[in-house]
C-alpha cells in the first residue's frame, strides 16, 4: 500500500463525511440516522472505518485492473 493511497483514503473519508454528514451531525442526524449519544462516539467511528475500508478496496481494485491491463497479472 502506497502512502498516496492512504492520503486519498483520508481525503475521501473527509469529503464523504462532509457531504453526507449534514450540518446537524453533532445532534445525531447524519447519514446513519438517530441513535442517541452512542452514535456520536461509536456510530461515527464505525462509519469512518467502513468508509475508509471501502475507499481502500476501490483503490486496490483499480490497481489490480491496471496491473492486468499492463500484462502483469498472475
Say whether 30 sits in a helix, a strand or coil: strand
pLDDT of residue 56: 84
pLDDT tens across the length of the chain (74 residues): 577 777 777 787 777 776 666 554 555 555 555 554 445 555 666 777 777 888 888 888 888 888 888 876 55
The whole model's pTM is what?
0.48
In a domain, 33, yes or no: yes
In a domain, 73, yes or no: no
CA angle (21 as vertex; 43, 23 as ends), nearest 5:
120
In the numeric block, the cell 457531504 is attached to 19
In a domain, 15, yes or no: yes
CB 22 within 8 A of CB 31: yes
In a domain, 59, yes or no: yes
Query: Which residues form the domain of 26?
Result: 3-68
In a domain, 23, yes or no: yes
In a domain, 26, yes or no: yes
Domains: count for the chain: 1
Amino acid at each position: 500500500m502506497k502512502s498516496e493511497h492512504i492520503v486519498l483514503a483520508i481525503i475521501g473519508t473527509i469529503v464523504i463525511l462532509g457531504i453526507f454528514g449534514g450540518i446537524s451531525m453533532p445532534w445525531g442526524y447524519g447519514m446513519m440516522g438517530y441513535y442517541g449519544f452512542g452514535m456520536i462516539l461509536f456510530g461515527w467511528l464505525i462509519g469512518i472505518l467502513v468508509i475508509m475500508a471501502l475507499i481502500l478496496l476501490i483503490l486496490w481494485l483499480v490497481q489490480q485492473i491496471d496491473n492486468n491491463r499492463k500484462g502483469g497479472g498472475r
